[in-house]
Structure 1
Amino acid sequence: MDVTNDWYLVAASLSFLVPAGLVLIGAAGLDPDRAWAAALAGLAAIGLAGMGYWAVGFALQFGGVGLFYSDPGLMGLVWEWSALPANWGSGWGMAGLSGWFLGGEGMTPAAFALFLAHLPWAATAALLPVLALRGRAPAVAALVLALSTGAFLYPLAGNWVQGGGWLAALGRNLGIGHGMVDFGGAGSVFLVAAGVTCAALLVWLPRQSPRALADPNLPTVHLPMLAVVGALLLPVGVLGWSWSNPIQAGIIGELGPLRGSVNSLLFVISGSLIPVLYTWFVTGESDPLMAARGIAAGAIAGLGAGPFITPTAALLVGLLAGGSVPFVTFAVNRLLRLNDMAGIVSMTTIPALLGLISVGFFADGSVGAGWQNTGVGSYLGVTWQGVTGLVAASGFVADFPGQLQAQVIGGVALLVWGFVMASLICVPVAALAHGIEMATAANHTEEQGFVESRSTIGGVDQSNGAVDERVLSPTSPVHPQWVQQEQRTLRE
């Protein structure tokens, strides 16, 4: 692996356009006050996720990567934990245990390149739930969730796939395809974030009031220019995101980068078509926010499929991913009434699953020979056959349903992981926040009652500062000067 090339620095820098674009698209569906709060919380989430990933996240994700990839630059990262005994086979890794705080002998140029490549992934996974929660959950609770996602939930999921863990080893250990193939983090980033977001939205209510199912009105677009700018940033960011990983760049071959880049653009282009046509058909005019969300959905699906499928298949899957957005938006906001005005669930869940599953059907074997140390040299008896699904290119053998099984297992596992772990975090945090709120309200009520009980002392009415003349009768023991002093004290 040659990490002296400046390309890795450029690609990692461009990758940060992905979270930036998603922030703009998410904020476009919020009212101006919530958009301001969401943008500020998004910046805080990126900062917390970055610190968490630097401290523990990188070690959890790549602490044992040297056991699975024979690159000399990764030989210091060889400590991987597994809950399964050794007689189950090698490669059932579940968490890395070296590289804490980016320190130790294992931190070579290759290791730093890995950190730079995946820091935007951690930031994005932490950012998306925060965008959906601002305005309905306490700020501290949202930031706790962001820190947990960037430091623990995403890195562990990333270890299972990109770090050589148990999902990546399904092919070596069980003979299920090449293991779960997740080229650009559609599963480890966006499915995990979708699961976290769903759990958080279910915990922090209220839901919006019911609306007629036949109501054709779309979600309000408060800031359409934000959606347009965010959609324009995504294609550039996705190209950098896809090719900043030095492990993948070293084994993808000559065809992979060029076909993968073309596929990424086709995913983005086709993702916008159905939302534009659908909104025009339903309301009489195209909706910029729905089109931008369709572009994001296409980009996310493309990160799952990468260069493994043909451009024609990429165009088809992009159409399906973008076309799912208005229907999932309707289901989430109208049927379930979860009020996901940032559109996180609709942009991530179905598109990520479609991108991953498309590998099981449309991967043609031209790219990915030896992917995840499976089928090095030859696969299914064919020399240099790569990741293959149902539709194999000429000269290659179909690997069906093996590869599809690996994709389904991985997608379901990552979605459930995000949902369950986020529920375990959100429920106690929400209960604690509710308890503090109730205690504060009770204390405020007691203070208000105490003030009201003193408001009539000496005949003084605190509501308007008037003095009851009946109390200040000539026979009253209360002197007017004392009443004025008490009134001044109460006002202070």
Structure 2
Amino acid sequence: MNKLSFKKGGLTALLLLMPLSGIWADGDDLSEVIAGLDTFWVLMAAFMVFFMQAGFGMVEAGFIRAKNTTNILTKNFLDFCMASLGFFVFGYALMFGKGNGFLGLSGWFLIGAESAADVPLFAFWLFQAAFCGAAATIVAGGMAERMKFQAYLIYSFLISAFIYPVIGHWVWGGGWLASIGFNDFAGSGVVHTTGGVAALIGTILLKPRMGKYRPDGTIKMIAGHNIPLASLGVFILWFGWFGFNPGSTLSVGDGNLIARIAINTNLAAAAGGITAMITIWMVSGKPDLSMALNGALAGLVAVTAPCAFIDPWAAIVIGAIGGIIVVLASIGLDKIRIDDPVGAFPVHGVNGIWGTISIGIFGKSALGLPSDGLLYGGGFSQLGIQLLGIIAIISFVLVTMGTIFKVIDLTIGLRVSKDEENLGLDIGEHGLESYTGFQIIE
């Protein structure tokens, strides 16, 4: 930079800062500026988490067959629509309203509602609504290629309006789990275990796709139709996670905390991708990209709960273990003939559980945890609390979502007809192909 441009730049900066000098001189005005920055931070994080819906859509579309692409994308699109309305009418009140240890009972339609953070209500609501949408959309992948669209819409509204918010109240709304010291910083348990376990129970009730498991005991590999699309989706999700985890600070006040959460998020994803690739390479003899992609997501899911309470080396270990167990869980589901087309339960359910438990092992009281984890001399106290909390979340989701899916199945039905499944849900359910003018061979 030459001297002239340096002088121009310095003059420009000075002119920009001069109007703020009066603000900085006044304590009340300074607090307003800080509040504005916090609001901006939370809104930008909410926008990034919202963009993760595109990532989920691309991943799920890429991992399934071409004939069902429109269907899965429609479900992802409507998930956020349902989540926004359900969380506005009922969900926020149940999650953050004044009530008891089990659920909130005030603030329906946001009338009389209060923000649970030091940012305006509407900003906080949007951030939480984006999380709600993420929990709901996880299930689409596990139940892909054979679930009725109208049945899915009913499920999507109910989990967004009632099931997810109750669990959120237990942990983030001052409920009973929060009162005993349970911690889940950004949602390995609240968001991902909820969505992953719901996907598992729905997948079991739906039964496998036709032809997936042959009578002779062999397994037909039903390949996804567009790995580049799935890869793009994972990169979008990875990017969005920098809003998901650091944004959960809900304030720009502690730069060190935000930076530590960001690096932990990144390192866990990288480690998960590598260990998943190595694991599937050892098992199958090939470095399967689809497993590496799910490994990165597994690392992201696992680090979401402990990201604020651990050192970077621990994030690598947590992500690396996540990458291994996502492969083993995927293989295990096939062995017991549970057909999860995109790995919703191995990625979000299994690693949501692992991430929540890992706080009790790697967490540090010096980083804000109530007590040290097992590795730092804290004994089994925090680990026991984390185990109790995750068992409670799993049990609640199994009972409530199992009931919801069963009632839907007994009334309008969960699964499309055999003819629709053979033809593809794009035509059978929507009358609209994703790819026109091409002959799709499957």
TM-score scaled by length of structure 2:
0.80
Superposed displacement of residue 146, structure 1: 0.8
Q: Distance between the aligned counterparts of 1:254 and 1:98, measured in 2?
A: 34
Q: Distance between the aligned counterparts of 2:133 and 2:267, measured in 1?
A: 25
Superposed displacement of residue 34, structure 1: 1.6
Superposed displacement of residue 38, structure 1: 0.6
Aligned to 2:191: 189
One of 106, 112, 116 as aligned partner of 1:98: 106
- 5 Å-filtered alignment, 1:459-478, equals none
Structure 1, residues 49-93: CA drift from partner, whole Å, max 9, x if none?
111001110111111xxxxxxxxxxxxxxx213xxxxxxxxxxx1
Query: Is residue 2:41 matched to residue 1:7?
Result: yes
Superposed displacement of residue 357, structure 1: 1.2
Residue type matched to 1:389 in 2? G
- 5 Å-filtered alignment, 1:141-156, equals 141-156=151-166
Query: Is residue 2:302 matched to residue 1:301?
Result: yes
Distance change (3 Å), C-alpha of 1:323 and 1:103: same
Query: Is residue 2:214 matched to residue 1:235?
Result: no
Superposed displacement of residue 117, structure 1: 1.6
Report the 3-state secondary structure (helix = DSSP H, G, I; strand = E; otherwise coil) of the residue aligned with 1:16. Answer: helix
Query: Is residue 2:115 matched to residue 1:80?
Result: no
Superposed displacement of residue 434, structure 1: 4.5
Distance change (3 Å), C-alpha of 1:222 and 1:192: same
Q: Select the structure of larger CA radius of gyration.
A: 1
Aligned to 2:14: none
Structure 1, residues 27-63: CA drift from partner, whole Å, max 9, x if none?
2221011222111111112211111001110111111
Q: Is this contact kept in 2: 1:210–1:337, CA < 8 A?
A: no
Aligned to 1:56: 90
Q: Is this contact kept in 2: 1:59–1:100, CA < 8 A?
A: yes
Q: Distance between the aligned counterparts of 1:437 and 1:257, measured in 2?
A: 46
Distance change (3 Å), C-alpha of 1:403 and 1:245: same
Query: Is residue 2:228 matched to residue 1:209?
Result: no
Unaligned runs of 5+ in 1: 64-78, 82-92, 171-178, 370-385, 393-397, 439-492
Residue type matched to 1:348 in 2? H
Superposed displacement of residue 109, structure 1: 4.6
Report the 3-state secondary structure (helix = DSSP H, G, I; strand = E; otherwise coil) of the residue aligned with 2:247. Answer: coil
Aligned to 1:290: 291
Distance change (3 Å), C-alpha of 1:295 and 1:115: same
Report the 3-state secondary structure (helix = DSSP H, G, I; strand = E; otherwise coil) of the residue aligned with 2:338. Answer: coil
Q: Is this contact kept in 2: 1:28–1:227, CA < 8 A?
A: yes
Superposed displacement of residue 435, structure 1: 11
Q: Distance between the aligned counterparts of 1:418 and 1:209, measured in 2?
A: 27
Q: CA RMSD in A?
A: 2.5
Structure 1, residues 250-279: CA drift from partner, whole Å, max 9, x if none?
88x553222111110011100101222233
Aligned to 1:226: 229
Query: Is residue 2:336 matched to residue 1:317?
Result: no
Query: Is residue 2:128 matched to residue 1:127?
Result: no
Q: Is this contact kept in 2: 1:195–1:418, CA < 8 A?
A: yes
Q: Distance between the aligned counterparts of 1:343 and 1:295, measured in 2?
A: 13
Structure 1, residues 167-187: CA drift from partner, whole Å, max 9, x if none?
0111xxxxxxxx111011110
In proportion to residue count, which structure has more helix?
Answer: 2
Q: Is this contact kept in 2: 1:62–1:163, CA < 8 A?
A: yes
Q: Is this contact kept in 2: 1:128–1:344, CA < 8 A?
A: yes
Report the 3-state secondary structure (helix = DSSP H, G, I; strand = E; otherwise coil) of the residue aligned with 2:306. Answer: helix
Q: Distance between the aligned counterparts of 1:349 and 1:60, measured in 2?
A: 23
Distance change (3 Å), C-alpha of 1:211 and 1:293: farther
Q: Is this contact kept in 1: 2:42–2:124, CA < 8 A?
A: no
Residue type matched to 2:104 in 1? G
Report the 3-state secondary structure (helix = DSSP H, G, I; strand = E; otherwise coil) of the residue aligned with 1:406. Answer: helix
Distance change (3 Å), C-alpha of 1:303 and 1:437: closer
Superposed displacement of residue 134, structure 1: 3.5
Report the 3-state secondary structure (helix = DSSP H, G, I; strand = E; otherwise coil) of the residue aligned with 2:176. Answer: coil
Unaligned runs of 5+ in 2: 1-30, 418-442
Query: Is residue 2:397 matched to residue 1:390?
Result: no
What percent of counterpart residues are identical?
26
One of 424, 433, 437 as aligned partner of 2:412: 433
Report the 3-state secondary structure (helix = DSSP H, G, I; strand = E; otherwise coil) of the residue aligned with 1:231. Answer: helix
Count, aligned residues: 379
Q: Is this contact kept in 1: 2:147–2:414, CA < 8 A?
A: no
